[in-house]
Amino acid sequence: MLFAAAILIHLHNPHGATIDINPDQIVSLRSAAPEKHVDDRLLHGSIKCMISLADGKFVGVVEDCGKIKEMVEKAQ
């Protein structure tokens, strides 16, 4: 019998809650624009990276996209 274990990366939402994400489900990462940029007016001020997932959902986290990329590479 074979078991497949998903390796999750642990990130945080703006309120400090932990969000566990399967790196295989990450489709893209988008860094928040500088504060004065109009396109990010809908994002909470502490969100540094918006993650797009394979199921069409988006997750905003306080970690920056560069750190998340490193975490994904280590998990693979």
What global pTM score does this model have?
A: 0.80
C-alpha closest to that of 11 among 55, 53, 56, 54: 53
pLDDT per residue as tens digits for the range 10-33: 999 999 999 999 999 999 999 877
| Domain residue ranges of the chain, discontinuous segments joined by + | 9-75
Separation between Cα atoms, residue 17 and residue 49, nearest integer Å = 15
pLDDT per residue as tens digits for the range 35-45: 655 555 556 67
